[in-house]
Amino acid sequence: MSEKETVKSIELLTFQLADQEYSLDIMSVREIRGWTRTTPLPHAPSYMKGVINLRGTVLPVMDLSERLGLRAREQTDRNVIIVVSHDDMLTGLLVDAVSDIIALTEDDLQPPPEMQSGQGPGVVSALTLIDERMIRVLELSSVVASVQSTAA
C-alpha cells in the first residue's frame, strides 16, 4: 500500500462562535437543532445552560463560547444547538451558527502551537487553513470530558 493510499480523509462541521470559526469531526455530530429555551439546573457550571427534552431524553446544553473562555453573549433565536455524541453520551453545544461541512485529509491539519497553561490537554486538536480562513478543530473529548468531571 502506498503512502498516498494511507492518508485518512475526514469531514468536519464548521460553525461560528464569537466571530471565530471552529469545527468538529462530523462523525460525532448526531443532529443540529434550532435554539430551544433550556431548563437551568442548580449548582451547574455557568457554561452549562441547562437541559432540554430531546424526544424523551434529557439533553444537557453547554454554551460552547463560555466554555472556551470567549466573550459571553445572550442567546437568540439565531443560535443553534449541535447535538454531539461522545462515549455514548449526548451533549448539546450552543453555537452562533453552523457554516459548512468540509472534507480534508490529515495532511491538511496542523498541530496547534504550545500555548496551554499546563492544565491538561487542550481543547483545540488541530488547525487548518481554508480559503484564507484559519479554522480550529475542537478536541471533543477534552470539552465534554471536563463537563462530565465537573458534573460528577
| Domain range annotation of the chain | 10-144
Nearest to 124, CA basis, from 107, 137, 133, 111: 137
> pLDDT tens across 5-60, in order?
678 899 999 999 988 999 999 999 999 999 989 999 999 999 999 999 999 999 99
Residue 146: strand, helix, or coil? helix
CATH number attached to the domain at 10-144: 2.40.50.180
Q: pTM to 2 decimals?
A: 0.85
Cα 48 to Cα 40: distance, rounded to the nearest angstrom: 8
> pLDDT tens across 77-101, in order?
889 999 999 999 999 999 999 999 9
